[in-house]
Amino acid sequence: MQALTSAGGHVVTMNNSEFHVSGPRYDRRGPVRWLWSHLRRHPTQLAGFLGGSLVMVVLNAVVPQLTGVAFDAVLDGRGDSSSVLGVIALALLAIVLGRGLFDLVARLSSEVLAKRLERDARDELYVSLLGKSQTFHNRQRIGDLMARAANDIRQLSIMVTPGADLIVDSSLNGLVPFFFIAAIDPRLLLVPGIFAITFAVALRHYMRQLNPVATRMREQFGDLNAGLSQAVRGIEVIKVTAQEGQERRRFRAQARLYRDSFVRNGLVQARYLPTLLFALAMAGALWHALHLHGTGAITIGELVAFMGLMGMLAFPTQISIFTFSLLQIGIVSSRRILSIINSEMELEQRADGHAAPIRGEIVFDDVTFGHDEGEPVLRGVTFTVRPGETVAIVGETGSGKSTLTKLVPRIYDVTSGRILVDGVDVRDWDLDSLRSQLSTIEQDIMLFSRTVAENIAFSQGQRADRESVVRAAEDAQAAEFVAELDDGYDTVIGERGVTLSGGQRQRLAIARALLTDPAILVLDDSTSAIDSATEDKIQQAIGRVLDGRTTLMITHRLSQIRWADKVLLLRRGELVDYGTHDELLSRSRLYRRIFAHYDEITDPAGAPVLASEQEVAF
C-alpha cells in the first residue's frame, strides 16, 4: 500500500487498482461557495492581496486631497505657501513609493493565489475523475472532459488575475472615495450616490444578460473540443472511408457556433454603456460642487479634491465590462467543473469491507445488469466457478461476455441478484482487497506514454523491481522484442502503445497481469493479435501461472475453449448452457451452430482434434 500526497493537499492511499482520498474539504453547494472555500485556504496570500489593494487605493484617494490643499494654499496667498507646497511634494513622493510597494504586494499575492487556485481545482477534479465509476466515464465525451480539465480550470486562474485583481481594485476605487467625499461635505454625496445606484442596477442587468451567453459559450467550446478529440481518435477510420470533407464541414459548423456565441457575448457588452452614465455623473457632480462653492459651503481646493475623487470612479466604470465578463465566465467554468465533481462518485463500499486472501470461488446468483434504464445486458445469470477452474465464456457478439467479467471486480454493480467471491458478496468486499487480487487482460490494450518497464509495472507502481519486470516479460514472450527496442525496457512508447504492433501490446499487457500474481485472472480475447507460434509459447507461460488460480476467459479460439474446464454459453444476455466443450457439443444446437463450419466435428463424443489457429465465427 502506498500513501501519496498530491499537490493540492489530498492524501491518496493506493493499493493496486483503487485509492481513497482524504484532504481539504471544499464547500460544493455552489460555484461561488466552492471558489471561496478554495481561496480561504490561502489566508496569507488573500490578506496580502486584499490589504495591499486597499492601502494602494487609500493612497490614491489621498492625492486629490493634497491637491486641494495645495490649491487653497496658493489661492490664500499666505507667506508660508511655499513650505506647505514643499511638504505636499514630499508627501506625494512618499505616496508614489508606497503605492509601488503595496501594488507589488497585492499583485504578487494575487498571482500566487491564482496559481494555487488553479492547481488545487485541477487536483480536486483529477482525483474526482479517478474515483468515478466506469458507468460515469462511459457517458462522458473525452473532449468535453478535457475542455473542463484544461480550459475551464485555466479560466479560474484568469478570473483571479487579472479578473479579481481588477474587480477588487475597481470596487475599492468605487467605495473609498465616498468616505473622503463625506469628510469634505456630506452634501457632495448626492450625485455620486445617485450614480452608484444607477450603475449597480445597470451592472445587475448586464450580468443577468451575460450569464446564459457565457454558459453557452463554454458549452460550445466543450462541443468543439469533443468533436476535435473524436476526429483525432478516429483519424484512421476517417481516412479509410474518405470522409475528410464531411468531418471538415462538421468541424467548421461547430467552430461557427462557437464564434457566434462570442459574437453574442460582444453584443451584450456593446449594449452596456457605463461610460455614458459616468459622463453624466461628472457633469452633475461639477454643477453641484460649483453650486456649493457659490454658497460658500466649500472652498475651491475642496472642489478640486471632490472632482479628483469623482475621477477615481472612472476606473471601475470603464473596466467593469471586462472585469465582470471575466468573473461571469469564471463562475460558469466553476459550475461546469463542479457539475463533474458533484456527480456520482465511486461505487459505494463499506468502511469495514471484507479483506482476505482470495481462494478463487466465484458465484453468480440470478444476476441481472443493465446500463441506465435500457434493456438489461445480462438477465438472470447463475453459475459457479470453483477455485482454480478455468472457464471459457462463449457467445455471439453483444451477448454480454465482457460485461459479465466486469461485474466481478465491480467495474459495474449488478442491477439485481448478487455475485459472491469466496462466499462474500462483492459489495461487501473491501474494494482495494478485491481488485488487487484480480487482473484483467483485455483485447483493447491500454498502454501509457511511458517506458516499457513502467507499463509492465503499472499495477505495482514503484514496488516492482527490474528483475520482476524482466521475468514477467519473459513469461509473456515479450522479452525478445523489448530487447530490440532502442532503449530496451527504458524505451518510451507512444500513447496507447501506437508505436508497437498489436501482438507486442498484448504481450506487454499479459506481462503486466502476470506481475501482479493474481488469484483471479480475466482474459478478454487476450491473444487475438498474436501469431500461432507466439500464442503457443504464451499459453505455456500462462498455463504455469494459472495453477491454483481461477480464470475467466473470453475467447474466439478453439484451442483455448478446449483448454477450459467449463464453458459458459451466452445468448442475448442469458446463460443458455454451462458445461465442458464436449458436453455442449453433444447437447447444444446453438453451440454446434457456432462451430458448424469446422468439418472435423463429426462425433462430439469422440473428442475430435480441432485446428488451434482457427477462430470461432460469431
Alpha helix (H) residue ranges in 133-189: 134-139, 142-147, 153-158, 165-184
The answer to whether residue 87 sits within a structural domain is yes
Residues 280 and 393 in one domain: no
Residues 328 and 301 in one domain: yes
The answer to whether residue 279 sits within a structural domain is yes
CB 124 within 8 A of CB 8: yes
pLDDT at position 545 is: 60
247 conformational bin, left if phi > 0, alpha if psi -120 to 50, beta if neither: alpha
The answer to whether residue 616 sits within a structural domain is yes
Instruction: Give residues with Cβ within 8 angstroms of 262, minimum separation 6.
Output: 217
Overall number of domains in the chain: 2
The answer to whether residue 500 sits within a structural domain is no
The answer to whether residue 461 sits within a structural domain is no
Residues 370 and 417 in one domain: yes
Q: What span, in angstroms and rounded, lies between the C-alpha atoms of 302 and 591? A: 100
* Domain boundary pick from 341, 373, 398: 341
Residues 285 and 431 in one domain: no
- Give the pairing of strands 550-554 and 390-395: parallel
Cell numbers for 209, please give them: 444578460
Q: What span, in angstroms and rounded, lies between the C-alpha atoms of 411 and 377? A: 15
Longest dimension (CA), the chain: 128
CB 361 within 8 A of CB 386: yes
* Domain boundary pick from 311, 341, 371: 341
Mean pLDDT per 10-residue segment, the chain (618 residues): 45 40 68 86 89 90 87 73 82 89 90 88 83 70 70 81 81 88 91 88 79 76 73 66 75 82 74 77 90 88 89 82 75 82 68 85 92 81 92 86 89 89 90 84 77 82 78 83 87 74 80 83 71 64 69 80 86 90 86 62 41 38
Q: What span, in angstroms and rounded, lies between the C-alpha atoms of 91 and 177? A: 19
* Domain boundary pick from 341, 369, 387: 341
CB 293 within 8 A of CB 303: yes
Strand partners, 2: 14
Of residues 338, 342, 352, 353, the one with CA closest to residue 410: 353
Q: What span, in angstroms and rounded, lies between the C-alpha atoms of 332 and 163? A: 14
Q: What span, in angstroms and rounded, lies between the C-alpha atoms of 417 and 54? A: 64
Residues 312 and 403 in one domain: no
- Identity of residue 521: L
The answer to whether residue 548 sits within a structural domain is no
User: What is the extent of the structural domain holding 280?
Assistant: 31-224+265-341
The answer to whether residue 502 sits within a structural domain is no
CB 534 within 8 A of CB 507: yes
Q: Give per-residue burial for 374-388: e unless 16+ CB within 10 Å, then b.
A: eebbbbebeeebeeb
Residues 417 and 277 in one domain: no
Angle (CA) 605 607 612, round 5°: 145
Residues 110 and 219 in one domain: yes
CB 598 within 8 A of CB 614: yes
257 conformational bin, left if phi > 0, alpha if psi -120 to 50, beta if neither: alpha
pLDDT at position 604 is: 42
Residues 332 and 365 in one domain: no
Please report which helix (H) or strand (E) contains residue 570, including its range.
Answer: strand 566-571
CB 214 within 8 A of CB 324: no
Cell numbers for 436, please give them: 488487487
Please report, for the domain that includes residue 387, its CATH number: 3.40.50.300
Angle (CA) 552 554 560, round 5°: 90
Residues 295 and 427 in one domain: no
- Give the pairing of strands 566-571 and 390-395: parallel
The answer to whether residue 512 sits within a structural domain is no
- Give the pairing of strands 438-441 and 520-524: parallel
- Identity of residue 305: A
pLDDT at position 606 is: 41
Residues 295 and 386 in one domain: no
Please report which helix (H) or strand (E) contains residue 401, including its range.
Answer: helix 401-407
pLDDT at position 255 is: 83
Q: What span, in angstroms and rounded, lies between the C-alpha atoms of 299 and 34? A: 50
Q: How many residues does the chain have?
A: 618
- Strands of 351-415, DSSP E: 362-369, 378-385, 390-395
Residues 333 and 362 in one domain: no
Residues 315 and 365 in one domain: no
CB 392 within 8 A of CB 568: yes
pLDDT at position 412 is: 84
3-state secondary structure of 490: helix
First to last CA, the chain: 42
Please report, for the domain that includes residue 48, its CATH number: 1.20.1560.10
